[in-house]
Amino acid sequence: MKALVLERVGELSLRDIDLPQEMGPDDVRIRLHTVGVCGSDVHYYTHGRIGNFVLNEPMVLGHEAAGTITEVGANVIHLKPGDRVCMEPGIPDPKSRASRLGLYNVDPAVTFWATPPVHGVLSPETIHPASFTYKLPDNVSFAEGAMVEPFAVGMQAATRARVTPGDTAVVTGCGAIGIMVALAALAGGCSRVLISDLSETKLKLAETYDGITAVNLREQNLLEAVDAATEGWGADIVFECSGAAAAVRDLFKVVRPGGTVVLVGLPPEPVPMDIAAACSRECRIETVFRYANVFDRALALIAAGKVDLKPLVSGTFSFDQSVAAFERAAEARPEDVKLQIILDGEGS
């Protein structure tokens, strides 16, 4: 099957590769329609590794995907050929200790698309467990379906934060994940979100959403902005989505006494954290790794019109232009939030 293969660091090719064709009774076969380009895909392309996951052999990229069912296994009852779907890219071992605890996202045995050595789905077709495949409501497009995966990280962050209606939240970092966290926080009941970044272009896009206020760190100090907005009390929740040492340093000055800090961004190297400041405010600290049990809720919010991800698509490419799509993503243009690759011209 033709696929976008990362051969080694910095080298991509669109070529034939052997991929599994065997369907089990609990699986579905999916014709891919739209696949998003994720920061992690780009990082494997530019660096060949993320933490302990190292590219040692050619790997197909892509894990943010939507498509159409073409075949279902004998045991599958909730999906049928022709259904438009999106897929959860991590498949845990259902019998693992983590899965039994309901923490399947941190199952050490999880296999996750486009995480070495597991192939991703930038190919015309894939086979996937039906239980991790979600039917798209009729008013949700393939483009939106392919953004459920990154939005699920926002859903996980808002869930872990235990948002109370009316909360004021701060999001540090205005990339795709930061914006999606802000949207999930608003959908979860936050009254407003202040989002900080150094890029005016990214902040401008975030500010087109009701409830989001931009803080440009080149012009304004985040601490002062939050103090001004909260009469010096601090934010109920701070979502750290930048992975930047400077943002982590100030987290516990931005959060209110008794507030919550949610760590979403992954600093490439360990960064210092002010434990004394955290203790003096008796903060709750939560961490986020991918997501569990949020895809159905994410789709419900999108279908209900409470979350609009469409403005986040900055560019689309055909399957034949996949390499160009990754080269563009590697440029990290400030105006690019989400680039997508369309594999199948049919439908929307």
By CB under 5 A, name the binding residues for Zn ion.
Answer: 38, 64, 150
Which CB atom, from 92 or from 154, has the smaller least distance to Zn ion? 154
What is the nearest approach in angstroms of Zn ion to the Cβ of residue 38? 3
What is the nearest approach in angstroms of Zn ion to the Cβ of residue 140? 18
What is the nearest approach in angstroms of Zn ion to the Cβ of residue 64? 5
Distances in Å between the Cα of 289 and the Cα atoms of 24, 145, 223 are 29, 21, 27
Rounded Cα–Cα distance for residues 166 and 182 (Å): 14
Which CB atom, from 225 or from 325, has the smaller least distance to Zn ion? 325
What is the nearest approach in angstroms of Zn ion to the Cβ of residue 36? 7
Give me the residues paired with residue 196 across strands: 172, 215
Within 13 Å, how many C-alpha atoms sit on residue 18's CB side? 1
Which CB atom, from 4 or from 38, has the smaller least distance to Zn ion? 38
Which CB atom, from 92 or from 150, has the smaller least distance to Zn ion? 150
* 3-class DSSP string for 101-169: CCCHHHCCCCEECCECCECCCCCCEEEEEHHHEEECCCCCCHHHHCCHHHHHHHHHHHHHHCCCCCCEE
**24 DSSP assignment:** P
What is the nearest approach in angstroms of Zn ion to the Cβ of residue 39? 7
What is the nearest approach in angstroms of Zn ion to the Cβ of residue 245? 23
How many other C-beta atoms lie within 10 A of the C-beta of residue 311?
13
Distances in Å between the Cα of 285 and the Cα atoms of 66, 244, 260, 293, 316 are 33, 17, 6, 21, 37
Rounded Cα–Cα distance for residues 231 and 213 (Å): 16
Which CB atom, from 38 or from 341, has the smaller least distance to Zn ion? 38
What is the nearest approach in angstroms of Zn ion to the Cβ of residue 239? 17
Which CB atom, from 63 or from 256, has the smaller least distance to Zn ion? 63
**319 DSSP assignment:** G
Rounded Cα–Cα distance for residues 72 and 286 (Å): 38
Which CB atom, from 38 or from 185, has the smaller least distance to Zn ion? 38
Nearest residue relative to Zn ion (C-beta): 38
Distances in Å between the Cα of 126 and the Cα atoms of 60, 287, 346 are 12, 31, 17
Which CB atom, from 192 or from 338, has the smaller least distance to Zn ion? 338
Contacts 24+ apart (CB under 8 A), 324-329: 325/37, 326/4, 326/12, 326/37, 326/41, 326/42, 326/45, 326/61, 329/37, 329/41, 329/42
What is the nearest approach in angstroms of Zn ion to the Cβ of residue 41? 7
